[in-house]
Amino acid sequence: MNTRSGVASYTPVPCETACASCDVRALSLCAALRQDDLSVMERVSTVRNLLPDEILIHEGDPARRVYTVTKGMMRLSTILADGRRQITGFLMPGDFLGLADEETTSATVEAVTHSTLCAFARADMNRLLHDHPPLQARLMQFTRAALREARDGQIMLGRLAPVEKLSSFLLMMSTRMEARGLPANPVPIPMSRTDIADFLGLTVETVSRSFTKLRNQQLIRLPDAHHVDIVDRRALAAVAGIDQA
Amino acid sequence: MNTRSGVASYTPVPCETACASCDVRALSLCAALRQDDLSVMERVSTVRNLLPDEILIHEGDPARRVYTVTKGMMRLSTILADGRRQITGFLMPGDFLGLADEETTSATVEAVTHSTLCAFARADMNRLLHDHPPLQARLMQFTRAALREARDGQIMLGRLAPVEKLSSFLLMMSTRMEARGLPANPVPIPMSRTDIADFLGLTVETVSRSFTKLRNQQLIRLPDAHHVDIVDRRALAAVAGIDQA
DNA sequence: CGCCGTATTGAGCACTGTCAATAACAGTGG
DNA sequence: CCACTGTTATTGACAGTGCTCAATACGGCG
């Protein structure tokens, strides 16, 4: 289970740490830095690899590090005393991890798929932010965007019906793929039905039924459980309540 | 409805614009400024008074101004095409308005009660932020806090049962009163049951029934519809799922 | 090929939303 | 001051939706 793949320390050729050849650089926080400033950042960064379901952060842990996701997918979640879980967001390559917290982490963070992250000690990051105003500005933008996303989440959770929630979710996933220059149409859905349920505030069964409904209405096709082919984007958006683009 | 003791226009002496004597200064963004820098801020600020239910911002409007709430209470909301509404948050004195947006506003903002705000042109605020790093830092903290709050909202909306939602809401209101140095025990609830419902993702009827349940369990008393006396805070927190403090 | 975890489907029920009636309340005008 | 009216809150009855429990199907992997 937690078979550490032994890649915690640098590989001989630090391909991932080479910011210059980083494929999420344009999307990530680092885009705010010029080539030469990038090396300053590179010097204080370490790479972290995670296996599926491996836990990176336990809610309540001290917030010692911040990260940029470079590969894979992460989930942010909170678990109530009786085991109920709410997933508050998924992180994809380019996303920043650590926007909400100052001292203590406010969510558990786990890998959905095999993931790679670029880690920074919070103190180092603070110094970088202080020395590079554009970096600070970009972090602010990221935080604002995360706030808007969380509020969209509130709208979805509070006022959408199950099929609407799922439609909204699928469109969001598609949009995020597109934003990363990846194919947006057959959307890969790496997370389990349980994860989707805990994100949408539903049960697994209801999620499954909602998938079936959308399939029966010819709005989507399901090549397999983890790939959704959006057949009628417009109609899907209409079902979603036309929130998302 | 709730006769707030004030009149729209205030005393001849513009008490509200006098930052030096502002009673929410310690709570607000401005706390980051020294006495003399405060005058710079004061010079570019204007006061805005709002009557109950008066609309300050329509979702989609250009985000020309930002505000600090000095009196009263505001609500942030989004309305879906078919009229369903989700309230994503309430703002109280000291709270900053405009954290999430850059170009376009992402929520409608209305006054719950007679409210007073301190307004700044976004351009002016940006200049202030640029010239005063501590102000920038404080804005960042506020944004982070708002993000944590929105995520708490997601948890509440996604995974709590109606009574749990209401308990959680009441405790939150109480906590926020306390944070402002105001009496935390008989909690004033200025907003309507409809507002509460749209915040908690419920219907008015369910909110009302949940109030009744909590009253019947002796956890709260209801002197009137807009005041809640928390009788057993511990038990209420237990019902809430012990999220909030 | 068989096993195990995940996803889907089915049946029944509890809960919450809907619709409707009543009650409390505030503001208005006689 | 009180009756009248419109608004808001509460309560009741009922139905539909989504959850619970249970069975079946699918798919990856040994």
Q: For residues A133 and A32, give the distance between their C-alpha atoms in angstroms, rounded to a whole number.
A: 9
Cβ contact B151–A100 (<8 Å): yes
Q: For residues B216 and B84, give the distance between their C-alpha atoms in angstroms, rounded to a whole number.
A: 30
Dump pLDDT digits (tens) for B8-59.
444 444 444 578 889 999 999 999 999 889 999 999 999 999 999 999 999 9
How far, CA to CA in Å, does B36 sit from each of A224, B20, B39, B134, B138?
65, 10, 6, 14, 18
In A, which residues are within 8 Å of B131 by CB distance?
none
CB-defined contacts A:B, below 8 A: 111
pLDDT in tens, chain B (245 residues): 333 333 444 444 444 457 888 999 999 999 999 988 999 999 999 999 999 999 999 999 999 999 999 999 999 999 999 999 999 999 999 999 999 999 999 999 999 999 999 999 999 999 999 999 999 999 999 999 999 999 999 999 999 999 999 999 999 999 999 999 999 999 999 999 999 999 999 999 999 999 999 999 999 999 999 999 999 999 999 999 865 43
Dump pLDDT digits (tens) for A81-104.
999 999 999 999 999 999 999 999
B133-159 and A193-200 helices, crossing angle to 10°: 110
Nearest CA to CA, how far is B245 from chain A (Å)? 14
Nearest CA to CA, how far is B38 from chain A (Å)? 23
Q: What is the largest CA-CA distance in chain A?
A: 55
* Proximity of residue A52 CB to strand D below 7 A: no
Q: Stated in angstroms, how far is A224 CA from D25 C1'?
A: 14
Q: What is the mean pLDDT of residues A112-136?
A: 97
Within 7 Å of a protein beta carbon, the nucleotides of strand C are 6-11, 15-20, 25-27
Torsion sign over Cα B117, B120, B126, B129:
negative
Within 7 Å of a protein beta carbon, the nucleotides of strand D are 8-13, 17-22, 27-28
Residue-wise over B146-157: b if at least 16 C-beta within 10 A, else e? bbbbbbbbbbbb
Q: What is the 3-state secondary structure (H, E, C) of B178-220?
A: HHCCCCCCEEECCCCHHHHHHHHCCCHHHHHHHHHHHHHCCCE
In A, which residues are within 8 Å of B151 by CB distance?
76, 78, 88-89, 100, 106-107, 150, 153
pLDDT given for residue A20 in this prediction: 86
* Proximity of residue A162 CB to strand D below 7 A: yes
* pTM score of the predicted model: 0.93
In B, which residues are within 8 Å of A147 by CB distance?
99-100, 143, 146-147, 150
Nearest CA in chain B to A158: B201
Q: Which residue in A156, A242, A245, A142 sits closest to A196, CA to CA?
A: A156
Q: What is the mean pLDDT of residues A141-150?
A: 98
Q: For residues B32 and B97, give the distance between their C-alpha atoms in angstroms, rounded to a whole number.
A: 17
Q: Which residue in B45, B65, B33 sits closest to B133, CA to CA?
A: B33
pLDDT given for residue B17 in this prediction: 58
Tokens linked to A73? 């997918």
In 3-state terms, what secondary structure has residue B41?
A: helix
Q: Using an 8 Å Cβ cutoff, are B49 and B114 in contact?
A: yes
Q: Stated in angstroms, how far is A174 CA from C7 C1'?
A: 22
Identify the band that residue A244 occupies on the pLDDT scale cut at 50, 70 and 90: very low
Q: Containing H/E element for A150?
A: helix A133-159
In B, which residues are within 8 Å of A200 by CB distance?
158
Amino acid (1-letter code) at residue B106: S
- What residue ranges in A54-125 does DSSP mark as E strands? 55-57, 65-71, 74-79, 85-91, 96-97, 108-111, 115-121
* Proximity of residue A212 CB to strand C below 7 A: yes
